[in-house]
Amino acid sequence: MAAVRIGIIGAGSAIFSMRLVSDICKTDSLMGSEVVLMDIDENRLNAVSFLAQRISDEFDAKIRFSTTTQVDEAISNSDFVINSALVGGHAFLERMRKIGEKHGYQRGIDTQEFNMVSDYYTLTNWNQLSYFLEIAQKMENNGAKNPWLLQAANPVFEGTTLIHRQTNTNMVGFCHGHHEVRHLADAIGIPMSQIDWQVAGVNHGIWLNRFEKDGENLYPKLEEYFNSRKEWHPKDPPDDQLSPVAWDLYSFYGMFPIGDTQRNSSWKYHYNLETKKKWYGAPWGGFDSDLGWKWYQDKVYTIAKTLQEMMKMIMEQASATKDLSVKAFINENINQFPEDIRDQVNQIFDHSRLSGEQHIPFIDAIANNNPTRLVVNTMNSMGKDETEVVIQGLPNDCACEFPAIVDGRGIHPEVLAPKLTERIIKWYLMPRIMRMEWALEAFIKKDRSLIVEFLMRDRRTTSYEQAKAVVEEIFENNG
Amino acid sequence: MAAVRIGIIGAGSAIFSMRLVSDICKTDSLMGSEVVLMDIDENRLNAVSFLAQRISDEFDAKIRFSTTTQVDEAISNSDFVINSALVGGHAFLERMRKIGEKHGYQRGIDTQEFNMVSDYYTLTNWNQLSYFLEIAQKMENNGAKNPWLLQAANPVFEGTTLIHRQTNTNMVGFCHGHHEVRHLADAIGIPMSQIDWQVAGVNHGIWLNRFEKDGENLYPKLEEYFNSRKEWHPKDPPDDQLSPVAWDLYSFYGMFPIGDTQRNSSWKYHYNLETKKKWYGAPWGGFDSDLGWKWYQDKVYTIAKTLQEMMKMIMEQASATKDLSVKAFINENINQFPEDIRDQVNQIFDHSRLSGEQHIPFIDAIANNNPTRLVVNTMNSMGKDETEVVIQGLPNDCACEFPAIVDGRGIHPEVLAPKLTERIIKWYLMPRIMRMEWALEAFIKKDRSLIVEFLMRDRRTTSYEQAKAVVEEIFENNG
C-alpha cells in the first residue's frame, strides 16, 4: 500500500475529474494519497475540490486534496501527473472549424482521412501540443523518483509520439475506446468476463485482433449477428459500434474496428450528411456530423451546468448541515441529470464500481506493484531493442495502442495473437501514421507551409490559393 | 570479352530496339553475341531485324539476330532478357483513360498523386503486371547460368518490387530519367563530366542528393540560376527539368527532383489546365496534360511511321543494291524525321556514341566484369542483411532507384551522401510506396474492391457509387 502524490491538470472538467477522484477514493491501496487539482478556472476547481474532499470523507479514503492554478504546483514532486487539459477549450476548436468551413473544408481542416474525430486537432492546435511538451519537460526533474505522466487529453496519438521522442519522461497515453468491445459481446450474448480479447493499432484506430471464448474464435458469431440483423438504429450519435460502418470496415479490413475507430476512416462514409446517415444511422449521421456534434456539445453543456448547480447547492447545504451526505443528496436529485448519464453519475458514488478510466488502475499497478491489464498508448518499440516491436509492420518510433500488463516494473505488452491483418497495417495504419508524421513536423518546425502542403493532399482542396488562404486565416486567429 | 545470348521482348518498338541494337553493335566486348528479337507484330519485327543485321554488318560487330513471336524462344538459354513490352499497347491505355474520364477522373484512374505519368498504369493494366511475372518465372529455369532480367517497360517501380518479391530471378529495372541532371549542369554552365552527382528515390521519384564539383556543393549556383532567371518557356511538353515546378518541388523538399519526378507530385500542379500551364509552361501545361500527351502521341506516331517507311525503302533498295549503306541512306533522308529527333536517329548510326540507355552497358558490365556506374532499380535491402538498406528511412522490401557500380559480381550500390532529406522520405516517397503496396495487393489478389478502395482516397471521387461504377466498367473492358 503506497500513498502517492497525484497532480491532475485540467481538473476543472467536472465529470472527468469526479470519475478520477472517485476511483482514487475507492482504491484502498492508495489511501492517504495527496491529489493536487490544477485548472485555470478557479471557480470550477473549488467546486470539484469541495466535492472530492466530501467523497473521500464519506468513503473514509483519507485523500488530501488541494487546488492550484499553477501547473508547476501540480507537477512538482508528484509521482503521477494526469494531463486532461484542452488548451483553448472547445470554443477554440469551434472557432478554427468555422474558419475552415468558410474556406470550403467541411468540419474544419483538422478533420482528415483517418482522423475525423471532431475534437482531435492535429493541425491547428499547436498550443495544445506545446502544452503537452511543456508538462513533459517539467516532469523530467520534478523532484519525484521516476514520475509518470498520464496523457488523457487528445490528440493522444500525436502527443504520445511527440513526448516520447522529445523528452525522457515516463509517459503513457490513455483512451477508453476499447471498452466498446462489450457491445460486440452483448450482440452475441456472451458476458465480457468470459471473452478473451485483444485490440491493437494506434489511438482511435484500434482493431479487435482477438475475440475468443475458451479458445473458440467468436468472429463467426459476430458475422451471424450482423447477417441476421433486420434493422438497426443508433440510440444516440456515439452509438456506432454495431453500426453498418463498423460492419463495412470489418468486411474490408478483416478485423472489427473498436471504439472511436468507426469514426476514423476514409471519406467513403463522410462525403455528406446523406452518406453519413446511411452508414451511421439517422437522424444524426454519427458523432462527427454537424447534428451529431451539436448533440454532444449540448449534452456536455447540460451536464456541466447541472453539475455546477448541484455543487452550488451541496456547498450551501454543507455549510448549514454538518452531516450532509453528498451521496444521498445526489441520489435525491438524480432526476435533474439527463437520463442517459444518470448511471454514470450514480457510479461516482457507488463504492463497488470503478469508472472504467484507466488512470487510477495504472497508478495502483505501478505504485503498489499490482499487476493489472490495461490498454495503453506507448512506443511500438517500447524503447528496448529498436527492431523488436509490439505491432509488426509498423515503425518502431511511433506510439501504438495495445493491451499490456502493468506492474511495479512498468509496462509489459502482450504478444498480439493473431497479428493485425496486412490490410489494417498497409491500408489504414500506415496512412494514419504518415499524417501523424506530417502534423508533428509542421508543429515542431512551426511551419505553416507544411499545413498548406498537408492540405494539398486533402480532397476538399481545389487550388493552392484556397489552402494557403485558410491556413493564413487560421494562424492569424490562433493566439 | 564474352559473347552472350540476349532476348529482347517487345522488340517491335522500333526506336527503342534500334537504340539497344546499335548499342550492342558498338560494344566490342559483346562481339559475336546472339540477339533474339521477340514481338507479336511480325511485320515490325522483320523490319527491325533486317535493319539490326545491316547495322551489325556495317559495324562489323558479328551479332546474329533472329526473330520470334514466342516469348519462350526469347527467354530460353538467354543470358540476358530485356522486357520492353507494353501489353495492350497505347491503345489499351487510352481506352482505360477514356472510361475513367467518363466517370469524372480527369486523365484516368491510373493518374494518381505521386504517379501522374500518363503511361505508367498501376491500377488497371493487370495484364502488364502478369506478363512481368510470367517472364520472370520463365527465367527461373531458362537453361542459362545466372540469367538476368532487365525490366524496361513500365511500371518499373511496381514491376521491380513484384518480381523481386515473387520470383528468384536476378532482375534489375531501368529508366533514363536521371540523364536530365545534365539540364541542371547546363544551366550553371559546368560540363557534366566535371560534376559529382547522385540521385536516389524510387522510379519516377528520384532526387538529386549530391551535386558537386571538386567537393563544392553546386546547389547555391542552381539557386542563383533560378533566382536570376527572368522568363522560362518549355521547348516541348517533356521539357520540365528547369520548369517552375522543379523549382517549387526543390523549395519544399530540399533537393531537386530529376527526370520524370517533376511530373509526379500532388495535385498542386495538376488541378486543371490553367494550373498545369502555370507550373509546366504554356501552351501545353507539361507532358501529362491533354495537350502535352497528344503532342507526344503524335510524335511517337510520326516517328514510327517515318521509320517504317524508311525501313521499307531500305529493304527495297537492299534487294537491288548489294552494297547499300544504311547509315548513308538514313543520312540522306534524315530530313524526313521531325527535327528534334534527328540527332537521336543519327546517334544510332554513329559508332562513337551510345544511346544512353543503360541495358547494354549493364550487360557488358556483368558479362565482361567491366565495372560501370549505372542508375539501377532494385530492392532497397539488396537481399543481404534485411535491416541494411541503401535508402535509409524506407522499407527494405521495396524497389528503389540509386547509383551503383555494376561488375561481374553484380550490383554494388553507392553509399548515398548526403542522405535524402527527411521531407522527401516522409512527404513524397512514403506516400508513393504506400500506393505501390495498394496497387500490388489489388493485382496479386485480383481484387477489384481494392481498386475501389484506392479510389476512396482519390480527390476526384465524390461517392462510393462513382468509384464502384468506374472500376466495374474498366474491368469489364479489360480483356
Q: Say if A271 is an interface residue toward chain B (CB within 8 Å).
A: yes
β-bridge mates for residue B170, sequence order: B148
Question: 2.40.37.10, 3.90.470.10, 1.25.50.10, 3.40.50.720: which CATH number matches A5-173?
Answer: 3.40.50.720
| Nearest Cα to Cα of residue A214 among A237, A197, A235 | A197
CA angle, A236 as apex, A232 and A237 as ends, to 5°? 100
DSSP string, A413-449: EPPPSSPPPHHIIIIIIHHHHHHHHHHHHHHHHT-HH
A250 contacts on B by Cβ (under 8 Å): none
Reply yes or no on whether B176 is catalytic: yes
Give B160's contacts (C-beta < 8 A, 6+ positions apart): B151, B171, B172, B173, B203, B377, B378, B379, B399
Give the integer Cα–Cα distance in Å for B249 and B246. 5
Mark yes or no for CB contact A252/B449 under 8 Å.
yes
Radius of gyration of chain A (CA): 22
A456 contacts on B by Cβ (under 8 Å): 266-268
Mark yes or no for CB contact A275/B458 under 8 Å.
no
pLDDT digits (tens, 9 = 90+) for A433-450: 999 999 999 999 999 999
Mark yes or no for CB contact B266/A422 under 8 Å.
no
Q: Say if A252 is an interface residue toward chain B (CB within 8 Å).
A: yes
Mark yes or no for CB contact A422/B430 under 8 Å.
no
Q: Which of B275, B437, B458 sits opposite A426 (nearest CB)?
A: B437
CA distances B446 to A318, B124, B157, B158, B435, Å, are 71, 11, 19, 15, 16
Q: Say if B275 is an interface residue toward chain A (CB within 8 Å).
A: yes
B434 contacts on A by Cβ (under 8 Å): 426, 430-431, 434
Give the integer Cα–Cα distance in Å for A208 and A179. 11
A274 contacts on B by Cβ (under 8 Å): none
CA angle, B249 as apex, B246 and B252 as ends, to 5°? 150
Q: Which residues of chain A have pLDDT under 70?
A: 383-386, 479
Give the integer Cα–Cα distance in Å for B12 and B9. 8
A389 contacts on B by Cβ (under 8 Å): none
Give B231's contacts (C-beta < 8 A, 6+ positions apart): none
B267 contacts on A by Cβ (under 8 Å): 456-457, 461
Which of the residues B23, B260, B288, B364 is marked catalytic? B260
Quick check: helix, strand or coil at residue A264? coil
DSSP string, A207-233: EEEEEEETTEE-HHHHHHHHHH-----
Spans of all domains in chain A: 5-173, 179-288, 292-348
Q: Say if A174 is an interface residue toward chain B (CB within 8 Å).
A: no
Q: What is the percent of chain A where pLDDT is above 70?
A: 99
Q: Give me B385's grid cell.
A: 542483411
Say if strands B205-213 and A216-217 run parallel, antiparallel, or are unpaired: unpaired
Range list of β-strands (E), B164-293: 170-173, 196-202, 205-213, 216-217, 256-258
Say if strands A205-213 and B372-379 run parallel, antiparallel, or are unpaired: unpaired
Give the integer Cα–Cα distance in Å for B114 and A337. 53
- pLDDT score recorded for residue A386: 65
Q: Say if B426 is an interface residue toward chain A (CB within 8 Å).
A: yes
Whether ipTM tops 0.85, in short, is yes
Q: Which of A275, A434, A459 sits opposite B459 (nearest CB)?
A: A459
- pLDDT score recorded for residue B383: 59
Give the distance between the most distant pair of CA atoms in chain A.
Answer: 67
Q: Say if A338 is an interface residue toward chain B (CB within 8 Å).
A: no
- pLDDT score recorded for residue B385: 67
- pLDDT score recorded for residue B328: 86
- pLDDT score recorded for residue A385: 67
β-bridge mates for residue A375, sequence order: A403
Q: Say if A115 is an interface residue toward chain B (CB within 8 Å).
A: no
Closest CA–CA distance from residue B390 to any residue of chain A (Å): 17
Q: Which of B426, B438, B457 sits opposite A113 (nearest CB)?
A: B457
Closest CA–CA distance from residue A459 to any residue of chain B (Å): 4
CA distances A337 to A13, A55, A300, A348, B381, Å, are 17, 19, 11, 14, 61
Q: Do residues A131 and A85 make contact, with C-beta atoms less than 8 angstroms apart?
A: yes
CA angle, B352 as apex, B347 and B358 as ends, to 5°? 70
Q: Which residues of chain B have pLDDT under 70?
A: 383-386, 479
pLDDT digits (tens, 9 = 90+) for A157-168: 999 999 999 999
Positive or negative: CA dihedral A87, A89, A90, A96:
negative
- pLDDT score recorded for residue A22: 95
Give the integer Cα–Cα distance in Å for B474 and B127. 13
Q: Give me A14's grid cell.
A: 467536472
Give the integer Cα–Cα distance in Å for A68 and A372. 31
Q: How far is C-alpha A358 from the chain's CA centre? A: 10
Mark yes or no for CB contact B268/A426 under 8 Å.
no
Q: Do residues B110 and B45 make contact, with C-beta atoms less than 8 angstroms apart?
A: no
Q: Which residue carries 467536472 as its cell?
A: A14
Please measure the distance between the N-terminal and C-terminal CA atoms of chain A and give it in whole angstroms: 45
- Quote the pTM value: 0.95
Give A370's contacts (C-beta < 8 A, 6+ positions apart): A29, A364, A407, A408
Give the burial class of A94: count Cβ atoms within 10 A of its Cβ; 0-12 exposed, 13-18 middle, 19 or more buried. middle
Q: Say if B431 is an interface residue toward chain A (CB within 8 Å).
A: yes
Q: Which residue of B has its CA nearest to A464?
A: B268
Give A5's contacts (C-beta < 8 A, 6+ positions apart): A33, A34, A35, A36, A77, A78, A79, A80, A144
Closest CA–CA distance from residue A336 to any residue of chain B (Å): 44
- pLDDT score recorded for residue B172: 98
Q: Which of residues 433-472 of B touch A (CB under 8 A)?
A: 434, 437-438, 441, 449, 453, 456-459, 461-464
Q: Give me B350's grid cell.
A: 554513329
- pLDDT score recorded for residue A382: 75
Q: Do residues B443 and B129 make contact, with C-beta atoms less than 8 angstroms apart?
A: yes
Closest CA–CA distance from residue A387 to any residue of chain B (Å): 9
Q: Which of B267, B422, B464 sits opposite A268 (nearest CB)?
A: B464
Q: Which residue of A has its CA nearest to B441?
A: A423
Q: Say if A402 is an interface residue toward chain B (CB within 8 Å).
A: no
Reply yes or no on whether B260 is catalytic: yes
Q: Which of B267, B423, B458 sits opposite A456 (nearest CB)?
A: B267
Q: Which of A430, A438, A463 sits opposite B271 (nearest CB)?
A: A463
A423 contacts on B by Cβ (under 8 Å): 441
Q: Please, how many CA atoms are within 13 Å of residue A142, restricted to the half-sphere of its CB?
A: 30
Mark yes or no for CB contact A438/B449 under 8 Å.
no
pLDDT digits (tens, 9 = 90+) for B72-121: 999 999 999 999 999 999 999 999 999 999 999 999 999 999 999 999 99
Q: Which of B387, B426, B453 sits opposite A427 (nearest CB)?
A: B453
Q: How far is C-alpha B167 from the chain's CA centre? A: 22
Q: Give me A253's grid cell.
A: 479490413
Catalytic amino acids of A?
176, 260
DSSP one-letter code for B424: I
- What is the per-residue burial (b if ≥16 Cβ within 10 Å, else e) of B287-325? bbbebbbebbeebeeebeebbeebbeebeeebeeeeebe
